[in-house]
Amino acid sequence: MPELPEVETIRRGLEGFCLNKKIVQVKVSCEKSFIGAENDIVGRSIVKIRRFGKALVMDLSGGLSVICHLRMTGQLIYRGAGVQGVKTDGVGLQDLMREDSFAGGHPTDSFFTELPNKQTRVEIKFEDGSKLFFNDQRKFGFMKVLATTGVESEKFIASLAPEPWKMTDEEFYQRLQRHKNALIKAVILDQKVVAGLGNIYADEALFYAKIHPKRLAGSLNFDEAKLLIEGAKKVMKESIESGGSTMATYVKADGTKGDYLKLFAKVFRREGEPCLRCGEIITKIRVVGRGTHICPNCQKEGGEND
C-alpha cells in the first residue's frame, strides 16, 4: 500500500492532467472495483482533487465525488487523446510524458502498453478524448461514487485522526497517553491516532526523536513526544518534495521515480550500514509484525538516548 507522500504526489499529478475535464463515458469491468452507478458521473467535470490520508477524492460538478483507494496494487494511468501504448524497448517513463501520459501506482507493463488490458477495472473517458484508467491486479482497491457532502462522514475517512502537520504537540502527546500501554510504533501506525504514518516514516520519525520502537507510548515525556511529531512532519515533508519513497512498488504521478530513500532515509532499508549520526551499524528487528529499522545506539530500548 502506498504511504501518504506517494498518494500526495499522485494527487498533484492528477490535478495537472485531469482538473476541469468533463467525463463523457465510464466503463466498469469489475463491479467490486466501482461502487455506485457509473452513469451518475457522466456529464460532470472534475472540479477539485483532495486527499484524506491515503485516499484520493475527485470532486465533480453537481455535488458528487469519487473516492479512490489504490490499496496494494492499484494504478491510475492517464493517457492523452490518441495515445494507445508505448513500446517498452528503450522507452523510459520520461518518454511517456512527451506523449501526454503518466502512470501512478504499482509499476507494471501497464504503464507502457495499450490500455485497457486485463487488469483495467475502470476506464474514464474525457470530452477531449483523453482517458483515466484504474488498474488493479489484486482487486483490493476501489472507486466509490457518493455525494460530496458525505465524503468526510464516510466511515474510513471519518475515523482518521489529523495528519502530523494539523496536530499540536500537546494534542499528539495526549493521544499517546490514551494508548500508554501499547508499543510506540504500533501507536503511531494507528491511523486513528495520527493519519498518514506508514512503516517507512514511522521508522524515520522514531530515529529522528531517538526513540526505540518497543518503548511503551506512556513512557514518553512531553519533550520526546514533541520531537517525534516534529520528526514525522520533517520526514514526510521531505518525501513529498522528493516524490515519495517508491521502493520497488510505487512511482510519482508523472511517471518518474521518487528518491526519498536514496536521498533522505536514515534507517529504513539501511540495515548493515553505519548510522549517519553515530556510526553504529543499523539493524532490522520485528515490532508489531513489521520489519523495523533502528540504530541500537541512538535508540536505546530503555530510553537512555542522551
Domains of the chain listed by start with CATH number: 4-158 (3.20.190.10), 164-294 (1.10.8.50)
Dihedral of CA 265/267/273/275: which sign? positive
- Give the pLDDT of residue 13: 83
Confidence (pLDDT) at 96: 46
- Check if 164 is active-site: no
What's the pLDDT at 302?
78
Identify the pLDDT of residue 244. Answer: 59
Indicate if 290 belongs to the active site.
yes
**Cell numbers for 211:** 526513540
- Indicate if the pLDDT at residue 84 is higher than 70: no
Marked catalytic residue, from 2, 5, 107, 164:
2
Round to whole Å and give the CA distance between 255 and 251.
6
Q: What does the pLDDT read at residue 90?
A: 46
First to last CA, the chain: 35
Q: Which of 22, 269, 290, 300 is catalytic?
A: 290
- Cis bond upstream, residue 116 (ω within 30): yes
pTM of the entire structure? 0.81
Query: Can you give the pLDDT at residue 28?
Result: 97
Sheet of 55-60, strand order: 34-35, 142-147, 64-69, 55-60, 46-52
Residue range 35-43: average pLDDT? 97
221 alpha-carbon distance from chain centroid: 30
Q: Which own/partner contact pairs does 255-259 have at CB distance under 8 Å and 24+ positions apart?
A: 255/93, 255/94, 255/96, 255/97, 255/101, 255/102, 255/103, 255/104, 255/111, 256/93, 256/94, 257/93, 258/5, 258/6, 258/9
Residue 116 annotated to the active site: no
Q: Kindly tell me if the per-residue pLDDT of 305 is higher than 70.
A: no
How is residue 183 written as a grid cell? 508499543
* Residue 273 appears among annotated catalytic residues: no
Q: What is the pLDDT of residue 93?
A: 43
Q: Would you say 3 and 198 are in contact if contact means Cβ atoms under 8 Å apart? A: yes
pLDDT score recorded for residue 92: 46
> What confidence score (pLDDT) does residue 242 get?
74
266 against 242, higher pLDDT = 266
- The pLDDT assigned to 113 comes to 79
Instruction: Tell me which of 3, 8, 123, 224 is the catalytic residue.
Output: 3
Residue-wise pLDDT tens digits, 226-258: 999 999 999 988 888 776 555 444 445 455 566
Tell me what pLDDT residue 73 has: 87
pLDDT at 94 > cutoff 70: no
Rounded to an integer, the average pLDDT of 74-84 is 83
User: Looking at residues 89-98, what average pLDDT do you find?
Assistant: 46
Give the model's confidence band at 97: pLDDT under 50 very low, under 70 low, under 90 confident, else very high: very low
Mean pLDDT calculated for residue range 17-35: 96
- Which residue among the candidates 54, 125, 175, 185 is catalytic per the annotation? 54
Q: What band does 99 get if pLDDT is binned at 50, 70 and 90?
A: low
CA neighbor of 54 nearest in space, from 7, 107, 105: 7
Q: What is the dihedral of CA 131, 135, 141, 142, to 10 degrees?
A: 30
Q: Helix, strand or coil for residue 195?
A: coil
